[in-house]
Amino acid sequence: MSVVDWPALRSAAREAMGRAYAPYSNFQVGAAALTSDGRIVTGCNIENASYGVGLCAECSLVSALYGEGAPSRPRLVAVAVVDRNGAALMPCGRCRQLLYEHGGPDMLLETVSGIRPMSEVLPDAFGPDDLRSR
Ligand code: THU
């Protein structure tokens, strides 16, 4: 699982972006991830007339990670998030937390400043270990 096919991830994220339901912001987002069990899962943003209820692309990505049944508790290994032009988009703060839960500090993210680990994108993160250690 050492080599990540970033162009394939970007292209899957772009394809997912095409499925976005974003009639309110008109800001379509797509996300794709390589998982620890070798799948590529994707997500897009899904907005709602009750604006605050809308789902970010990363949220539907995490749902897809578990959506088809995941007895092996798969992890996110590498993630790409793109805007409507296919350019890298930084996950919002809530989504960084979501990704951290399922990818941990070593998960790789394609950012606007290159491929970086989650430990840099969400430094000193609060996570599952904090609940265990106190
Ligand atoms: N959005 C995402 O899908 N992911 C992010 O990390 C940032 C924002 C979506 C939410 C909303 O549907 C639209 O982009 C505009 O904020």
Taking phi over 0 as left and psi of -120 to 50 as alpha, with beta for the rest, 119 belongs to: alpha
Rounded distance from Cα 125 to ligand 1 centre (Å): 21
Lowest mean pLDDT among 1-5, 78-82, 92-96, 112-116: 1-5
Which atom of ligand 1 is closest in space to residue 95's alpha carbon?
Answer: 6
| CA–centroid distance for 126 within its chain | 18
Report whether pLDDT(71) > 80.
no
For the question of residue 58 being annotated catalytic, the response is yes
Catalytic option among 15, 47, 58, 120: 58
- The whole-angstrom separation of Cα 65 and Cα 23 is 25
Which atom of ligand 1 is closest in space to residue 54's alpha carbon?
Answer: 12
Report whether pLDDT(96) > 70.
yes
Report the candidate in 71, 20, 72, 69 with the shortest Cα–Cα distance to residue 42. 20
Report whether pLDDT(60) > 90.
yes
Phi, psi of 70 (to 5 degrees): -140, 70
**Mean pLDDT in the chain?**
95
**75 close to 61: Cβ distance less than 8 angstroms:** no
The 76-82 sheet, strands edge to edge: 40-44, 30-35, 76-82, 108-111, 114-117
Residue 1: predicted pLDDT: 45
User: How much of the chain, in percent, has pLDDT values that exceed 90?
Assistant: 90
In this prediction, residue 68 has a pLDDT band, given cuts at 50, 70 and 90, of confident
Phi, psi of 77 (to 5 degrees): -100, -45
In this prediction, residue 2 has a pLDDT band, given cuts at 50, 70 and 90, of low
Mean predicted confidence (pLDDT) in 26-54? 97
Lowest mean pLDDT among 16-30, 38-52, 55-69, 77-91: 55-69
